Amino acid sequence: MPLLTLSSISLSFGYLPLISESDLRIDPGERIAVIGRNGSGKSSLLKLIASEIPPDAGTIWREPGLRVSRLAQDVPGEGDRTAFDEIAAGLGELGEVVSQYHDAAIRLSASGAPKDMDRVGALQHELEERDGWRLEQKVETVISRLSLPADRRLSEFSGGWRRRVLLGKALVSEPHLLLLDEPTNHLDIDAIQWLEEYLLNAPSALLFVTHDRAFLSSLATRIVEIDRGRLTSWPGRYSEYLDKKGAAMEQEARELERLDKKLQKEEAWLRRGVKARRTRDEGRVRDLMALRAQRAAYRDAPGTARLAIDDAEASGKLVFEAERVAKTLGDVPVVRDYSQRIFRGDRVGIIGPNGSGKTTLLRLLVGELEPDQGTIKRGARLQIAYFDQQREQLDPDASVVDSVADGNTTVLVRGQPKHVMGYLADFLFPKERAQSPVRSLSGGERNRLMLARLFAKPANVLVLDEPTNDLDLETLDLLEEAVAGFDGTVLLVSHDRVFLDNVVTSILALEAGEQPVEYVGGWDDYLRQSRRAESRIGGTGPTDRNAGLGVQGSMSSPATRKLTYNEQRELEALPLRIAALEAEQQTLTAELESAEFYKSGADRIHAVMGRIEELAREHEALLARWVELEDRA
């Protein structure tokens, strides 16, 4: 028996329908991902299901007694309750008892007064009678996993942290149907992985909207797509949806092409003049009217953003060099003993829990902050494009067009002038939207506007702080492609594991107040390396909060002391030896592939081919030795 059924639902805002005569059924235990372009109506669909807005037409049937809980994308105003009280409120009437017990226990620990002891005892008895301990423990677990300060008031939180509180409230409420709108926004990777595991084991049915492809692939058992007002259900995982959707789009394009050809032929017949009017068949005219209606029913596919980064002249070989850098904000050490060299062409992904100093580190590198200790050298000819996750570079009262062109009518794109309206159209801003104020834009539109600003100026260094938040999946793919094709240097802070895997060449892992550690490769490479290190020191994997992200794993574990002095020197020298072998391999391979090579004589041919085989064996041996020493370190 379904939990909820939508029948012939329609919903419009303005002249354009968001949802047109669509059906949807949600069964117990399903985990359904809702996808679609920014502005297609995903959040509105969740509001419909949560009974927060009524449909314009159609009916919604709900199972009697159905409990629905929704995490909104927008954060409500501040409140005076503590984080613990707000999350416990998700438990309903019993949540008030849990909150009272929590507050009474805090007062008792501070005062030790008999009256406070009596109050705690009475509340303990009530919790025991009503099976409240299990729910109190659930509140404590959610608060811990979301890294929330339980006794701080909501009025002291930023919007992102208030949203974490609301996520916790939705999770503990134990609804039959849980609705989550972009639940991974403002979460670090550890919290996202915990949330994945939590939802995989939760008994509730789940309907969620997300731009995080790893999260989507892990959870979804069915995809519901909103495309041009229609709800289409695709059973199976996200990877299956991509295959089926591609085939469906090709079929739709073929059908539309046939329809256009037939319509063009019939329109030409109708316009043929006097002869046609004398001989035309009324039935044929009716068929033509039906063809016109059929063609009108096809809404044009939404445009695709065209993202291209304007490369500046190459920077110097050394881009940033940090040596023993430290930074304290207030009384909290945010960056500690950070040393790293970043060269032209490097793509560094920066990860770590919220509050570990990722944004601070970026601001130190680009010169917005000065270190308390240590030095930072910046290379020659740097042209930095900085994407700020707080979007502080956007004036909310300025228009979209002025935010990009600063009052000009053209922008330079790859050295060529282009009208600003045409440029903004590439980022899916039509003329009327381009003239509206920034404050009227959605989160995804503001991100696209920031990207438009960023890519309108030549750059050889991209500094991207959480650029993927709120982007729809198609635009996210295009951004990934643009960044991957960028010839300069990239510094990327992101919790999107797929984006990290496809873009970066190394991971810099931070833990609050600890020394950063760099790992070669993308996200999956980081996981393998950090897991190996943790297995040597008894860790439980990167999702264990005690193990953290493997930061300082090579510097503070007892296994480090197992390396002798000579082995440590060997480990330091190995990357240079491997690089030298690879350079020689490339040189000999180029010679082998040249047209003149086989004219050089048999001795030279045998020598080159033999040396290439020898280099391959040496290269494999050195890599194995490097991995062995790195594991022990």
Average confidence (pLDDT) over 612-618: 80
Flag the least confident range among 12-21, 78-87, 206-215: 12-21
How high is the mean pLDDT of the chain?
80
Burial class (CB in 10 A: 0-12, 13-18, 19+), 585: middle
Residue 493 has pLDDT above 90, yes or no: yes
The reported pLDDT for the residue numbered 612 is 81
Q: Which residue has the higher pLDDT, 525 or 372?
A: 372
pLDDT tens per residue, range 300-312: 555 556 676 777 7
User: Residue 489 pLDDT more than 60?
Assistant: yes
Q: Which tokens go with 502?
A: 């496809």
Q: Is the pLDDT of residue 78 over 80?
A: no
Instruction: Return the pLDDT at 242.
Output: 85
Q: Which two tokens stand for residue 317?
A: 């070989």
With beta carbons less than 8 A apart as the criterion, state whether 170 and 46 touch.
Answer: no
Per-residue confidence (pLDDT) for residue 74, from 0 to 100? 59
Beta bridge partner(s), residue 10: 57
**CA-based nearest residue to 322, from 377, 247, 262:** 377
What pLDDT score was predicted for residue 284?
60
pLDDT at res. 558: 33
Res 274: pLDDT = 45
Residue 573 has pLDDT above 70, yes or no: yes
Report whether 337 contacts 324 (CB < 8 A). Answer: yes
Q: How many CA atoms lie within 13 A of 412 on its CB side?
A: 8
* Amino acid 390: pLDDT: 59
Mean pLDDT value across residues 122-142: 82
Q: What band does 598 get if pLDDT is binned at 50, 70 and 90?
A: low
Please tell me the predicted confidence (pLDDT) of residue 532. Answer: 41
Q: φ, ψ for residue 339 (rounded to 5)?
A: -130, 130
Q: Answer whether residue 113 shows pLDDT above 70.
A: yes
pLDDT at 77: 52
Q: Does pLDDT of 247 surpass 80? A: no
> What pLDDT is recorded for position 436?
86
With pLDDT > 70 as the criterion, what percentage of the chain qualifies? 82
- pLDDT at residue 409 in the model: 83
Distance between CA atoms of 351 and 240, rounded to whole angstroms?
Answer: 30
Count of beta carbons in the 10 Å neighbourhood of residue 379: 18
Tell me the average pLDDT across 552-575: 56
Higher local confidence (pLDDT), 361 or 164: 361
8 Å CB contact between 527 and 520:
no
CATH class given for the domain over 318-548: alpha beta
**What's the CA gap between 268 and 245, in Å, rounded?**
34
pLDDT at 407 over 80: no
pLDDT per position as a tens digit, 512-552: 556 888 998 889 888 888 754 444 333 333 333 333 333 33
Q: Answer yes or no: is pLDDT of 297 > 60.
A: no
- Of residues 78 and 338, which shows the higher confidence score? 338
Q: Are 357 and 363 in contact (CB under 8 A)?
A: no
Give me the mean pLDDT over the 597-623 stretch: 76
- What confidence tier does 464 reach under pLDDT thresholds 50, 70, 90? very high
pLDDT for res 4: 95
pLDDT of the residue at 561? 40
Q: Where residue 251 falls among pLDDT bands split at 50, 70, 90?
A: confident
Confidence of residue 376 (pLDDT cuts 50, 70, 90): very high
Partners of residue 528 on adjacent β-strands: none
Annotated domain spans of the chain:
79-156, 242-297, 318-548, 563-632
The pLDDT value given to residue 54: 92
Single out the residue of 362, 371, 392 nearest to residue 493, CA to CA. 362
Average pLDDT of the residues in 463-475: 85
Residue 607: pLDDT above 90? Answer: no
The reported pLDDT for the residue numbered 214 is: 92
Sheet strands side by side (includes 57-62): 16-26, 4-13, 57-62
Mean pLDDT of 263-282: 58
Least confident stretch, 68-77, 368-377, 566-575: 68-77
Beta bridge partners of 320: 342, 378
Candidates 1.10.340.70, 1.10.287.380, 3.10.180.10, 1.10.10.10; CATH matching 563-632: 1.10.287.380
Beta-carbon count within 10 A of 17 CB: 19
Single pTM value for the model: 0.68
